[in-house]
Amino acid sequence: MTAIEAALLVVDDNEDNRYTLTRRLDREGYKNLTIATNGREALEKLKAQPFDLVLLDIMMPDMNGYEVLEQVKATPALRDIPIIMISSLDEIESVIRCIELGAEDYLNKPFNPTLLRARVGASLEKKRLRDEVRSNMERLAQELEAARALQLAMLPRQFPSCSPSHPIAVHAVMEPAKEVGGDLYDCFYAGEHTFCFLVGDVCGKGASAAMFMARARSLVRITVNLWRQWRADDLDPGALLDAVNRELCQDNDDCMFVTMFLGLIDTHSGLLSFANAGHPRPHLIASSGETGQIDAKAALPLGVRRDARFPTLTLQIHPGDALFLCSDGVFEAANGDGELFSVERVGQLLRQAAAAEPVEMVRIIKDAVDAFTGGTSRTDDLTALALRWRPALTTAA
């Protein structure tokens, strides 16, 4: 911002003081000068047009400079305008009061030309820097919002319909703690009778976690598709994670990693085969109402060690049984007292919602977490996925 570009407002009830100050500012190259003869006129002008700096006299009738300063700093649209207080009062108490009220600086009358030049220039430079930072922050916020939309668009929002040929009802949600997050989920039919689902959680937060999350999800999809093209045997979750892990370890200079639970359901038999790469164990909600975490011993997270192996385990589920998976952002959500939501609380809610459809089950858990944390900002992403096997279904759900 040059001196010619800067818009200055000079506020003083004394005509001689106004003339002296504006003449000196003019000599310094400040040509865009506006005059106000009292506090109320100054407030009107500040609301009517933008200014880069205000030079405000303290001792004025009707509304003094302290009162104007208070009103300006109490008005959101005006509070960032820098104000230099000017006064013939050479008292430290007056200076302290002005600074406490939010003044940028303080000048004594009569004006010292060198001091006037330095303080006006410094105040305008600080405003320029603040404006630049604010502009960059607004641009960054817009970019992060766009990144958030792109990230969420990568995750399924339309879920496979439950039907006699595809008897899995499923629903999931992911809410980043920040603009973008590192949690992920996916669910799709990897074959005519094979339903694939996963939930993952990348270490860290922000843009780097979001990019690693996108890489991990894409690798799972690619690996499943390649397996189906090149191998005739059934998909093996552990072998799939072996391959994904090797790729994630490649050129992983930042030592990023992701926990992941990957499951495959044979929709004819109800046989669940799965591999667990360091992720919280899912809950099984039996059609009888019995609920508990499945025995899914966790291996290393993906991306930690290239030669890590991920064993495949199996579990027989029965018609009407449901599975609930989530990230640790659910268990570890904290309220204002630092109390965690906990695995036990999730289990209690799932027992109460044992007969609920997946969409309702996810909503119940999410609403409970939101109510538990109240106004406390979350420090971790929240992801939840629920599915139910309905092989006897005769009509679409």
What is the distance of C-alpha 144 from the center of its chain?
A: 8
At 388, list the tokens: 């139910």
Separation between Cα atoms, residue 43 and residue 36, nearest integer Å: 9
**213 pairs with which residues across the strands?**
none
Model pLDDT for residues 344-392, shown as the tens digit of each residue = 999 999 999 999 999 999 999 999 999 999 877 777 889 999 999 999 7
Residue 251 main-chain phi, psi, to 5 deg: 55, 35
Ramachandran region, residue 100 (left: φ > 0; alpha: ψ -120 to 50; beta: rest): alpha
**264 pairs with which residues across the strands?**
196, 273
Percent of the chain at pLDDT > 90 equals 64
* The domains spanning 7-136 and 155-389 adopt the same CATH topology: no
CA nearest neighbour of 43 among 5, 73, 14: 73
Assign 393 a pLDDT band (cuts: 50, 70, 90). Answer: low
What is the distance of C-alpha 84 from the center of its chain?
A: 37
Q: Which fold has domain 155-389?
A: Phosphatase 2c; domain 1 (3.60.40)
Separation between Cα atoms, residue 277 and residue 259, nearest integer Å: 5
At 139, list the tokens: 């641009």
Separation between Cα atoms, residue 337 and residue 320, nearest integer Å: 38
At 337, list the tokens: 């007292």
Alpha carbon separation from 17 to 10, 87, 124 (Å, rounded): 10, 10, 22
**85 pairs with which residues across the strands?**
56, 106
Pairing of strands 291-293, 32-36: unpaired
Would you give the end-to-end CA distance of the chain in angstroms?
63
How many CB atoms within 10 Å of residue 331?
Answer: 17
Question: Residue 287: pLDDT above 70?
Answer: yes
**Chain length of the chain:** 397
Higher pLDDT, 156 or 71: 71
Residue with the two structure tokens 């690798």 = 219
Assign 171 a pLDDT band (cuts: 50, 70, 90). Answer: very high
Question: Residue 394: pLDDT above 60?
Answer: no
Alpha carbon separation from 139 to 68, 143, 145 (Å, rounded): 32, 6, 10
Q: CB of 199 within 8 A of CB of 279?
A: yes
Model pLDDT for residues 110-158, shown as the tens digit of each residue = 888 899 999 999 999 999 999 899 888 888 777 767 766 776 677 888 8
SS3 of 59-112: CCCCCCHHHHHHHHHHCCCCCCCCEEEEECCCCHHHHHHHHHHCCCEEEECCCC
pTM, full prediction: 0.71
Pairing of strands 32-36, 313-316: unpaired
What does the pLDDT read at residue 387? 97
**7 pairs with which residues across the strands?**
32
Separation between Cα atoms, residue 82 and residue 119, nearest integer Å: 11
Model pLDDT for residues 290-303, shown as the tens digit of each residue = 999 999 888 999 99
At 9, list the tokens: 């407002």
Beginning with the edge strand found earlier in the chain, give each strand of the sheet holding 283-285 in spatial order.
168-175, 382-389, 322-326, 283-285, 291-293
Question: What is the residue extent of each domain of the chain?
Answer: 7-136, 155-389
Model pLDDT for residues 97-109, shown as the tens digit of each residue = 898 999 999 988 8
Mean pLDDT of 191-214: 88
**83 pairs with which residues across the strands?**
54
The top-level CATH class assigned to 7-136 is: alpha beta
At 286, list the tokens: 């039996």
